[in-house]
Amino acid sequence: DIVMTQSPATLSVSPGERATLSCRASQSVHTNLAWYRQKPGQAPRLLIYGASVRATNIPGRFSGSGSGTEFTLTISSLQSEDFAVYYCQQYSAWPGTFGQGTKLEIK
């Protein structure tokens, strides 16, 4: 299985500031990479697919980049609802695998 590794495990950032989250794959997944946000007590929500394409109704402050094995999710100006857990997922090869998550907390 392809192993997805996210860093850092926890990121402390102030509201209004920029957050940068990383995801690394154990082998190339090309651009078959998605990002999800999970708020407490809720299901995950798709933010980014194809490594850099925003999903429907996702605001412009979210951007994704990368290809191959290194990927980044950037949130340009953090809003209160952005303090949550973020997961990356590769869908290049079966089984689709997720990273262990990055918890974004208020500084």
**Residues in touch with other proteins (CB under 8 A):** 34, 36, 42-46, 49-50, 55-56, 87, 89, 91, 93-101
Rounded to a whole number of angstroms, the minimum distance from the CB of residue 18 to other proteins is 24
Residue 69 or 99: the one with the smaller Cβ distance to other proteins is 99
Residue 77 or 100: the one with the smaller Cβ distance to other proteins is 100
DSSP string, 1-30: ---EEEE-SEEEE-TTS-EEEEEEESS--T
Q: Nearest to residue 17, comparing CAs of 71, 79, 60, 72?
A: 79
Rounded to a whole number of angstroms, the minimum distance from the CB of residue 34 to other proteins is 4
Q: Find the distance separating the first CA and the last CA of the chain, reported in whole Å.
A: 35
Residue 34 or 84: the one with the smaller Cβ distance to other proteins is 34
Rounded to a whole number of angstroms, the minimum distance from the CB of residue 96 to other proteins is 5
Specify whether the CB–CB gap between 77 and 33 falls below 8 A: no
